Chains A and B, each alone.
Chain A
Amino acid sequence: MAVKKKKKFKQRLQHIVRFDIAFDAWNSRDASKPLITFVQAGSISDKKFLVGDLILSINNTKIKTIGDLDFEVNKIDWGDKVLFEVKRLDKIEKVKIKTISFENYNKNHVNWPCHVKVKNNLVLIEKNAFEYQNFDNSVENGDILLSIDSEKISSEFDFGKVTSRYKSGDNVEFTIKKKDKSKEIKIKIKLINSIKAIAISKKSCEDHYLKKAGSLLFKEWVLTDYGANHEDWNKRREDIMKLETIAERFSDARFIENSDYIKDWTNKDAKLLTSLLKPEYKDINFKLNFFSLIFNSKIISKLKNLNLKKDCCYSFILTGKVIGGDWDKDVPANVKNFEKLVSIKDKKKEVFVDEISEASLNFFFNEMINKKKDIFIKYKSDKKFWSFSNEKKAELSTKLSQGFEGIAYFLEYWFESKYKFNKAKVKLAVDDFCKSFFLEYPDFNLERIKEIEKMDLKDEPEYDEDNYGSDYKDKIYISTSVSKKKVAGKESFVVKLNNLPTDEEIENYTIEGKKIYLKIYVYDVTDLDEDKYFKIQDNGEDTGQYFLNNCHVVKTEDLSWSEGNGILVQSTELETYGMKQLYELAFPYSKLKLPKYGKRKLSFRTFICTEDQKFDENNGRFITYDNPTFRAEEYFLDSYSEGFDEYNDYTDILSYSSSEIEVEYKQPGYLEINKRKYNDLKIALSLALNQDDKNNQKANLKKIKDSVRYGDYTVEGNIHKILSLKKNYEKSVNEKLNLDNILKDLKKNSVIHERYEIIDFLLNLATEDETFNSKENKFIDKVSKELELNKDKYQEIKKQKTSAVKFVDFGEEVEESVFGINKDMTKDEKLKILRKEYSRWNALTNNTDKMIRERAKEMRDLAANLRSQYNK
């Protein structure tokens, strides 16, 4: 079967001859008939073609579709005579047209600022020229065109028909509805011809602040017949405008550690990169790894132009002088630069460089991307005086994660060592080298190197580099406030964060590869006295010591609330997404361990800082020049000057704010607690429980001995424990343990959870014999009250511990001691409590534990009985 050969024609991009006729292409141009729908007034086709003509042939070549016509028109040159055959009102007519010169065409051709596309019955604007400034500023793609000079536009056909009537110099008014349908606008323009339009565009491109992009834009615009022969000129235009940015980014990739490697670029960015490369480099895949790229023939030839030879690239790698070499360790000392690589091998195979193609070599290296294994290389010295073996082995780590940036980095080294360039020159040279891969950028060659060599470029001072960041970046001014709130059922301090950095601000910093953190430390600033501080400062004494003595960091028992050192901190990385949710951070009271007891003033200090900012492990203070800084206030951003105030400049702290709040801390602070004292008191209290019951006391002593842990497990700690047990036991035998004194001391020497620990322990001791008597109950109630424990929590623990034991000797005090009823309560309150108690215990009569079940029945009856008495 014969196969119809599809016509192939390489489309000519520039200046295709135009007849200024239009068709109604319902489908693609290849599938639609060339039926003329309008003819531009004043054009070469005016009065030659008529609306409704169906073009049958061009220069005696039959055509069926608009695509066929395009194909044939491509063959015509400006100034040619062209013969058409058209079907007009059922007759075949011949149409002769003599084309004019391109220049004349442009003189006559009216440049419209847009064309249109119908979607959902709306005529949507697609801008195609940007020479009409007021139109360009007011109209967006997708806005709805309603009319032109009051003539309604409902279709592409209408648009063609109407616009075809206008000539250059005519005024025209567009009525447009904005795409968000918010308002209708009217825009008047004076139509210009193509010559003027091109001139405006040229000027505008030349004046563009992105010079290279502007220049490329104009070039490509002209090349593609003013955008007409480009599939999506608008998209290409946007891409071109990114030329400088992408070239900078490509070049700067070598400065960034593990952050913006080209191999990690998104596919979209990589595609953009390729689209902006010079044609000869378009087939280089810059996402490949270092080894693949260093062996790429085009890159090698580029390097050769700089008098760098292929061999030397290898040897640079192998000597560890560039990324990829395993510095010092694995490279034999006698290996020098410019030695020839003979072969490379991993565990499976050996590749001889001179024997295989580059593609195979690429493949070999690509297989190893990011695999942490070693390969073995053999290399040969060019220096003939080496008398011993000229093939040696060295190891090369493939954990290398860089790609092209490794080459750029290696070049830096080369410029530095061979040309003795200073840093500024090195930077300029390598930047130029990197950018020379891109369109519009000049080639990088020996001449350029010589130019740079002659330049009088000086390195910027080191400190300026540090300042560089704060000079060009927007300053961040966060502000905070702190309040007390219940969060997820927990009483907490809530720090409200205002003016957190925006996504752009974070990006500004993270582009340098540094993560940005928000950190909040809390300090007890109650004892700070400004007058005293200034006096110390005036006397030239150590203010740091003053802060160490009078301003202590708040700690935490829960290591997950610290960075492993017990210092309370809320630390979170600020990322460019998900930030909006972060505006309040809570610190549950229970997580705070304050330094001192009583009414305290807390300062919540919030830092926005880079990951490089260090904080002292012992006191949470941030570190400058290896020393902790005691006055965080010195790091307030000064809104009147360029950055931080005059005391210090520190680029890793991007912003700082603090807020203060008062709190009543009802337990001894960490500075006040003496753990051994706590344990002594625990022993004393436990022995006081059954002070007058000698039998129980002995039994308890063993349990106390086993349970009380002094924590330090030292011999000294053990001796201390034994002595404490002995001393307190003797006292209890003689009934000399004074409960009030023990509790008073315990309050000073225990934190809240330790107090519950004690209650737990006392209840265990009391119910050891499966009974719970009134005396024990009263004793533990008193301990709970004096240690200021939460009543409900205490009752809950007590109920749990006593749920399966027998109550003894409670008598008439039962209601108060067992159900938590007291004399101050009203009758209704008492009835309510008893009903709840009854209900709860009644529910427990279902319990699978027989002891609990029996106890529940007892308690249920007790509650009902009491209530019936109150109800009498």
Chain B
Amino acid sequence: MSKIIGIDLGTTYSAIAQLDDLGTPEVLASTDNNKKITASSVYIKDQNVIVGDKALDALETVPKKVITETKRQMENDVVYSVDEGKWVDKDEENKDYYSPAQISSFILSKLKGYASDVKKAVITVPALFAEKARVATLDAAKMAGIEVISLINEPTAAACYYASLPNVKKITGKILVFDLGGGTFDVTVCEVQGEEVEVITSRGDKWLGGKDFDKELINLINEKYKKLTGNELDIENNYSKYMEVAEQVKRVLSVRDKQMETIDGPDGAKEIEITRAEFEQSIQTHIEKLKMLMEEALDGSGLKAENISHTLLVGGSTRIPIITKTIEQVMKKPPLKGVNVDEAVAAGAAIYAGLKSKKNLNEAQKKAISNVKLQDVCNFYLGTLVQEDDPVLNRQVTSNLILIDRDTPLPATKSSRLVTLYDDQESISIDITQSEGREKNREFVNIIHQGELKFPDKKPKGRPIDVTYTYDTSGKLHCIFEDEATKEKYEVSIRPESAEDLRKNYEAIEHIVIE
């Protein structure tokens, strides 16, 4: 029988987990190096693709052919050009290119190989992953031959894992999951009662993670090198090399107060000392972002720091001392330590996979996860564009009408009644919107679907249209716009089974061998 696995598809590292025979989540080790986390790096080597640490190794020699931080591009209309060695705008002219979904599919294929007979999976995504990025993740899985039974939010998966641990059963009440990975940050407030996890709210920054700290470190090193030699480092052309150095320095500074590093530059190699204080100073802006997002999450859940019983750490970047210090400062108590922060998300995804496929489990597995329950929320505001009176501007303006509020428990169904503006109006245009903020302004929302509802007859203005949105537990949105008079409907399920250009992509990678 094929297994259902959990996959944490991370910005810098990814992991795959499954339930062992006793129902305990087990993170599977790489077949290359026996490590439980795999670098989310892809090296395009002629007709072959190398994924993981080996790809990272190639970064120094063939940086243009090594693709990292793909997850950050999942929602963008970009492709990776091996010739140019960077992400470029998608263009029909591009020949030698790979879409973010394709690159991600290579990583997923690699991970899939760690377990035998894997066809179905639960994949984790950042809580604030846009709809487009979620669709791209599904595409990636499809290309990798994996059927995704559900996408779940990373902090939710982590909370699920923590709640299932037998020795941390005492974690109950409101908890804050602080998930700082290589590229993204998510903070989630949940209510945990025994093994029941109920998400209250999530906040996040998709552009905030260990990689951003590394970039600040490079700038710091550059300043010091310039001070010593009068010349700046050629970062642009040696970006991968310096990023590797920076990551190394960052790791050392997590355990030591200072680090002396030999930096090779235009004026030769120089010994440069970097202190932890200097590093912490350089990432102050990012620290401020973390603070703000924690505060926002508390505000969004209507709680104060005192109401949170524990802060759970997830993600490699939580090893940095200033991070735990900042958490302590905001939450007024130190975070919980002791669980492998790199593996929690994948392990949580494996438990969720078990919950979703109980019939495939043995009795011990069923028993082990029998009490785990999960209640997630909608992480976006979902709405539609409407025309309304602006009394100040004294005219009709287009604005965003929110139907499903952020943090609404899933599954959710909400309805609203709209009316036509004009006599004999023949149709209404439909714009389904998604936004992280409570936006009224049409410029600031994402239109995730457009359509038109035509009326078979003519009626005076004020013709009622019933709009119903349903958002299911896997984040799939179903919208119905129905004309009350004639029952004429426009109905759409926002997340398609496959992207339109998927077939083309399949053809493109058929010949590729993944190592």
Task: Please give the residue numbers on chain A whose beta carbons come within 8 Å of chain B beta carbons, in ascending order.
Answer: 490, 557-558, 588-591, 752-753, 756-757, 790, 793, 796, 799-800, 803, 834-835, 838-840, 842-848, 850, 852-853, 857, 860-861, 864-865, 867-868, 871
A selection of 10 A-B contacts at a CB cut-off of 8 Å is A590-B391, A752-B394, A753-B392, A756-B393, A842-B436, A845-B206, A848-B132, A850-B77, A864-B288, A865-B285
A753 touches B437 (CB 8 A): no
The residue that A588 contacts in the complex, of B285, B291, B391, B444, with Cβ under 8 A, is B391
B392 touches A843 (CB 8 A): no
Q: Does B96 contact A (CB under 8 A)?
A: no
Cβ-closest chain B residue relative to A861: B285
Q: Does B284 contact A (CB under 8 A)?
A: yes
Distance between A456 CB and nearest chain B CB, rounded to angstroms: 57
A557-B394, A589-B391 given; 4 more Cβ-contact pairs under 8 Å: A752-B394, A838-B292, A844-B436, A868-B285
A857 touches B446 (CB 8 A): no
Q: Does B108 contact A (CB under 8 A)?
A: no
Distance between B365 CB and nearest chain A CB, rounded to angstroms: 37
Distance between A143 CB and nearest chain B CB, rounded to angstroms: 47
* Known contacts A588-B391, A846-B446, A848-B446; A867 and B288 CB within 8 A of each other: yes
Cβ-closest chain B residue relative to A871: B288
Give CA–CA (A857, B89) in the complex, Å: 18
Q: Does B244 contact A (CB under 8 A)?
A: no
Distance between B185 CB and nearest chain A CB, rounded to angstroms: 10
Give CA–CA (A702, B76) in the complex, Å: 37
Contacts of A796 in B (CB 8 A): 441
Contacts of B130 in A (CB 8 A): 846
Q: Does B296 contact A (CB under 8 A)?
A: yes
* Binding site secondary structure of chain A: helix
Contacts of B132 in A (CB 8 A): 848
B444 touches A800 (CB 8 A): yes
Cβ-closest chain B residue relative to A796: B441
Cβ-closest chain A residue relative to B444: A844
Contacts of A838 in B (CB 8 A): 289, 292
* Known contacts A790-B392, A845-B206, A846-B130; A840 and B292 CB within 8 A of each other: no
Contacts of A865 in B (CB 8 A): 285, 288
Type the 1/0 row for B489-515, where 1 means its CB is closer than 8 Å to any CB of A: 000000000000000000000000000
Give CA–CA (A659, B147) in the complex, Å: 71
Q: Does B287 contact A (CB under 8 A)?
A: yes
Q: Does B395 contact A (CB under 8 A)?
A: yes
Distance between B168 CB and nearest chain A CB, rounded to angstroms: 31
Distance between B278 CB and nearest chain A CB, rounded to angstroms: 15
Contacts of A846 in B (CB 8 A): 75, 128, 130, 206, 436, 446
B444 touches A835 (CB 8 A): no
Q: Does B295 contact A (CB under 8 A)?
A: yes
B393 touches A803 (CB 8 A): no
Please report which residues of chain B, range 265-303, place their CB below 8 angstroms from some CB of chain A when the two chains form the complex. 284-289, 291-293, 295-296
Q: Does B447 contact A (CB under 8 A)?
A: yes
Give CA–CA (A865, B282) in the complex, Å: 11
Q: Does B205 contact A (CB under 8 A)?
A: yes
Type the 1/0 row for B202-215, where 1 means its CB is closer than 8 Å to any CB of A: 01011100000000
Type the 1/0 row for B369-412, where 1 means its CB is closer than 8 Å to any CB of A: 00000000000000000000001111100000000000000000
The residue that B443 contacts in the complex, of A803, A839, A845, with Cβ under 8 A, is A803
Contacts of B289 in A (CB 8 A): 838, 842, 860, 864
Contacts of B296 in A (CB 8 A): 835, 839
- What count of chain B residues pass the 8 Å CB interface test? 36
Contacts of A757 in B (CB 8 A): 393
Distance between B247 CB and nearest chain A CB, rounded to angstroms: 21
Give CA–CA (A490, B388) in the complex, Å: 13
Give CA–CA (A840, B444) in the complex, Å: 9
A868 touches B288 (CB 8 A): yes
Give CA–CA (A796, B397) in the complex, Å: 14
Q: Which of A752, A867, A868 gathers most chain B CB within 10 Å?
A: A868
A835 touches B295 (CB 8 A): yes
B392 touches A756 (CB 8 A): yes
Contacts of A588 in B (CB 8 A): 391
Closest 8 CB pairs of A and B: A843-B436, A590-B391, A753-B394, A868-B288, A843-B437, A846-B130, A868-B284, A864-B289
Contacts of B40 in A (CB 8 A): none
Distance between A872 CB and nearest chain B CB, rounded to angstroms: 8
Distance between B325 CB and nearest chain A CB, rounded to angstroms: 14
Cβ-closest chain A residue relative to B442: A800
Cβ-closest chain A residue relative to B77: A850
Q: Does B435 contact A (CB under 8 A)?
A: yes
Cβ-closest chain B residue relative to A755: B392
Give CA–CA (A857, B287) in the complex, Å: 16
Give CA–CA (A558, B392) in the complex, Å: 12
Cβ-closest chain B residue relative to A862: B285
Type the 1/0 row for B452-492, where 1 means its CB is closer than 8 Å to any CB of A: 00000000000000000000000000000000000000000
* Known contacts A790-B392, A793-B392, A839-B437; A848 and B447 CB within 8 A of each other: yes
Q: Which of B295, B392, B395 gathers most chain A CB within 10 Å?
A: B392
Contacts of A871 in B (CB 8 A): 288, 291
* Known contacts A835-B296, A845-B207, A846-B206; A852 and B444 CB within 8 A of each other: yes
Distance between A566 CB and nearest chain B CB, rounded to angstroms: 13
Distance between A655 CB and nearest chain B CB, rounded to angstroms: 31
A864 touches B394 (CB 8 A): no
Give CA–CA (A839, B290) in the complex, Å: 11
Cβ-closest chain B residue relative to A870: B288
Please report which residues of chain B, range 194-208, place their CB below 8 angstroms from some CB of chain A when the two chains form the complex. 203, 205-207
Give CA–CA (A853, B206) in the complex, Å: 12
B285 touches A864 (CB 8 A): yes
Give CA–CA (A365, B89) in the complex, Å: 77
Q: Which of A557, A753, A796, A842 gathers most chain B CB within 10 Å?
A: A842
Contacts of A853 in B (CB 8 A): 76
Contacts of A845 in B (CB 8 A): 205-207
A800 touches B443 (CB 8 A): yes
Contacts of B395 in A (CB 8 A): 753
B392 touches A842 (CB 8 A): no
Contacts of A834 in B (CB 8 A): 292
Distance between A127 CB and nearest chain B CB, rounded to angstroms: 49
Distance between A831 CB and nearest chain B CB, rounded to angstroms: 9
Cβ-closest chain B residue relative to A752: B392
